Chain A
Amino acid sequence: MSVTWWGVLGTSAIAFALKYLGHCLPEKYLAYPLAQRVNTLIPVALLSALVATQTFTDENRLLIDHRSVGVAMAAIALLLRAPFPIVVISSALTSALLYHFI
């Protein structure tokens, strides 16, 4: 089985298991403040790391290319409080323009 198939099936199985497990646990597990804090912090760390690596790396190399400028455009759109689709589209357009003309 290929890497992508393992990714699809493994992610799906664990995603459902986590959701279902939550429905089976008693509510007192919500009371642990550390679990609450770490739960809100994990997405911040992982999503930030994903932004950084998808913008500035290719496999094991660090580089600045058309993507960096595209993501900078996304940051500007977010600062201007643009809705999510506009953020993504403006970033893609900027990156594509640079890719073609540079």
Chain B
Amino acid sequence: MPVVSDTTNSTLRDSLSVSLTVGAYGIAFGAASVAAGFSVLQSCLLSLLTFSGASQFAVIGVIGSGGSALTGIATASLLGLRNGLYGVRMAPILKVMGIKRVLAAHVTIDESTGVALMQEARGEKAMRLGFWATGWGVFLFWNLFTLAGALGAQAMGNPAAWGLDAAVPAAFLGLVWPRLDSGRTTLLALSAIALSIALTPFLPAGLPITLTAFLALAFGLARK
């Protein structure tokens, strides 16, 4: 059945290219995490257990700049909300229960959901394959590269001497950039920058970031 195997191969190719490119960002996370004061073990555990890039960068960013554990967790969790919505979208396609549902939930992230939805024209079987292959492919490379980045940063010493203190905000900028696809989201981004800077002298570190979630809510309620 050449048609079927062609479809399978194209899906697996999509999964592999996404897994490798996205997984390689793990090196930036591992290095940034150690630079923020987390141990190599803690950095690896974040990649193994949290396994959601933006949330991981958020918790090390907030705590690393002097924020409390609570504001770090709150900011990371607000960023993790979207994975819940991906779960709602993927569950009827995956149709899994028990331990398989646990395994599916753990790798429900931007990339696995994205590749699965890209396969829509190839049918539900291809969507499932895309989800599982991408989810666990990213998981493998993300964790390997996290370890490499963390060990590298540990060997380097002073993070500022290597520019790691700029690499973290640069990574956030790279994550938000593709989302600025309309005047509305750009206005929201600029408002969030202004609000967080304005509140910084008056509130504990990290809290000004968390509070910008209310801006997102206000923009959502205001519609256009």
Contact = CB atoms under 8 A, between A and B. Distances in A.
Contacts of B223: 37
A6 B69 contact: yes
A8 B45 contact: yes
A47 B221 CA distance: 20
A38 B220 contact: yes
Interface residues of A, number: 77
Contact of A11 (B59, B92, B179): B59
Interface string A14-42: 11101111111111011000111111111
B12 interface: no
Interface string B153-173: 000000011111111111111
A49 B73 contact: no
21 contacts: A3-B63, A8-B59, A12-B46, A14-B77, A16-B105, A19-B83, A24-B91, A27-B91, A41-B217, A42-B79, A43-B176, A46-B78, A46-B213, A51-B176, A53-B65, A69-B166, A78-B173, A92-B162, A92-B167, A95-B163, A95-B166
Interface of B: 21, 24-25, 27-28, 37-39, 42, 45-46, 49-52, 54-63, 65-66, 68-69, 72-73, 75-92, 94, 101-102, 104-106, 108, 160-177, 179-180, 185, 188-193, 195-197, 200-202, 205, 208-210, 212-213, 215-217, 219-221, 223
